[in-house]
Amino acid sequence: MAKLSTFCYVLLLLVISCGEELIPMIEAKQCNKTWNCKGEDRCRADCQNQFKGTGMCDLVTAPSVPKQCFCVYPC
């Protein structure tokens, strides 16, 4: 009888704790912009100032293609 009451008590606690309303979590979407890179520091600063994001320039590009600044920021 004692085992049955303990089991019922634990089951009741589980039902009560699962019945609480949960707040839905919403993930922030990541957006990005690109523009011609005018230096690593300038890219980082422009991205932070305009979009509150993180910017970085291409490390390696083809000879005829200008380096691009990639800015990733929350939408």
Q: What is the pLDDT of residues 3-36, one digit of tens each?
A: 667 776 666 666 666 655 556 767 778 999 999 9
CB contact at 8 A, 44 and 56 = yes
**In the chain, domain spans:** 28-75
The reported pLDDT for the residue numbered 11 is: 64
Instruction: Give the number of other CB atoms < 10 A from CB of residue 32.
Output: 14
Mean model confidence pLDDT for the chain: 83
Q: What's the pLDDT at 21?
A: 59
Q: What's residue 74's pLDDT?
A: 93
CATH 3.30.30 fits 28-75, yes or no: yes
Per-residue pLDDT, 67? 94
Q: What was the pLDDT predicted at 27?
A: 76
Long-range contacts of 27-31 (CB under 8 A, 24+ apart): 28/74, 28/75, 29/74, 29/75, 30/72, 30/73, 30/74, 30/75, 31/72, 31/73, 31/74, 31/75
